[in-house]
Structures are given as C-alpha cells and as structure tokens.
Amino acid sequence: MLSTACCRQPAPIRLTEGMKNALMAMMISSWWVQALTSSWHDSGMAYCGRSSTPICSAGTTNLHHNKGLPALAQSEDAHSRPSVDNRFFTLPELAMQILHARHYPATPWKNGGGITRQVLIAPPDATLDNFDYRISIASVASDGDFSRFPGIDRQLLLLQGAALLLQREDGSEVRLDAFSLPLAFAGEESISSQLTEGPVTDFNVMTRRGRYLQQVEDFTLNGERQLQSDDEVLLVLLAAGAELEISREDGRSCRLQPQDALLQQLAIGLTLRSSAAVRVIVVRLNRLSAA
C-alpha cells in the first residue's frame, strides 16, 4: 500500500497584511510600467507629468491645465493628442513638461500699464493677488511705474533690448541690461522704470514671502553642462539663441526653441547641450518648511 504522506496537499500559505500589500504593490507597479511603456511606444513620444503632455515629439507639443501642476497654457488642439488615461500619470517622479512660448497666455499688468505673458503660476486657479509663485515675460514699450505686489519677493532680468533704468524707493538708480545680475527687490517697493534706447523685454520671478524661496541663475552655454536638482520646481528657459537640447538621466530628451521652457518637478539630473552660444535662465523654487 502506498503511503498517504506522499499524496498530501501542501498546507496553504498564510499571508500577513504586509505580505499582501507588498504583492499588490508589485502587481500594480508591473502593470503600470507595462501600460506606460506601451503608451510611449504606441504614440512615438514620451509622456510625463500628471497629464498627457509629451516632453518630446516630431510634431507639435500641446499643453493643457492640470489640477496637480501649476497652470500652463491651454492646448491649441486638444483632440490632436493621443488618448491617455490621466489616472496612470500621477507619480511625481515623471513630472516634467515643455512650456512653449507660443502658448504663454497674455495678461494685463496689475496697474494696467502693459501686457505680460505668463509662463507659470501656482496654484493653477490663482490670481495676481493670491499666487504662491509666478514666472512671466513682459514687453516694456514705455516709461512707467512697476505694479506693486505686497508680500512678494521678486527678481528681474532683461531678456531683450538695450537697458532699463530703475528709480528705486530709496532714491538710488539701477541700470538693468542683458549683462546685469538678477535684480532682487520687494514687491511692495515703489519703482519707476525708464527706457534708454527703445522697448525691452524682461523676465520676472515672483514668490510669496515666507512660503517659497527662489533662486535664479543666468548663464551663457556653448557646449555641455550638467544640472542637478532636488528642487520642488525647476524651470529651464532658453532666453536667447537658436536651440537648446536637454536630456534626462533616464535617456529621454527634448529641444527648446527661444523662450520655451522646461518645467521639472522631480529629483533627476539634466544635461544641457548647445552647439552654439545660447543664454539660459534656471529658476529653482522651494517651499519653506514652516509654510
């Protein structure tokens, strides 16, 4: 007679809650990566961020508003994008978008004296009175006073034009040109501007005091430069020059045209490349721990 011991069924494995959660996470991660990779291969472009925004493609890259990210320009043709379920693009390590200059919405100055093209604002539904941070490009065609923004820290650079003379509240005068360091000042300060040789275009970074810190770097690149970031928000703008190529450590890359910007919200290294001299502005924004 055969022993019954060799025919016994193995005892069922009892999973703890921790083991169940780990297995579920592995299953979800495996399925998510497969779906994401399939989307990239099927569409011929790389998607990233908490929206279906390609970071690089052979055609036009469109942007749209997303509640999880700062407000960006609306897409010209939302139907031209491949259909992608946004629920699967929620991981912050993929938050990276191209902001095209042609999509920057034009908004009137707070004092009504001109027009600003808004690159970025947060929260997405913020106004000029309650934003946490705002980045913009303004064309200045006449002399006038700066709009006041109480409680806001500002930095200003000149992108195009000869120079801008600024009369500060303490009576001092500052000449701002393309070679000047970023000018930092309080948003509530009374400042008037005067053109020297025709219209100029400036670049403006604003953060709410006590809530966010800003760091602005302006440099010329002719060749290659590594850029490391663990910042909450990193923005790379091609201020002048023909083209800037940017590649990530994970192999994805994109190209910026003049006044286009790359917005990144993850800790991953970038490599900037240019075969000719270009001007690059890098903005880093970080929330204060007590905010």
What are the pLDDT digits (tens) for 156-205? Answer: 999 999 999 999 999 899 999 999 999 999 999 999 999 999 899 999 99
The helix (H) or strand (E) run that includes residue 247 is: strand 244-248
pLDDT at 37 over 80: no
Distance CA 221, CA 284 (A): 18
Query: Is 94 found in the same domain as 164?
Result: no
Query: Is 230 found in the same domain as 201?
Result: no
Q: Which residue has the higher pLDDT, 153 or 21?
A: 153
- Residue 12: inside a domain: no
Query: Is 264 found in the same domain as 181?
Result: no
Mean pLDDT to the nearest integer, 218-240: 95
Percent of all residues in the chain with a pLDDT value above 70, rounded to a whole number: 65
Q: Categorize the per-residue pLDDT at 155 as very low, low, confident or very high, splitting at 50, 70 and 90.
A: very high
In b/e form, how buried is each residue of 121-143, taking b as 16+ CB within 10 angstroms? bbeeebebeebbbbbbbbbbeee
Which backbone phi and psi does 74 adopt, to 5 degrees?
Answer: -75, 150
Query: Is 180 found in the same domain as 112?
Result: yes
Q: Give the structural domain span for 70.
A: 43-103+212-291
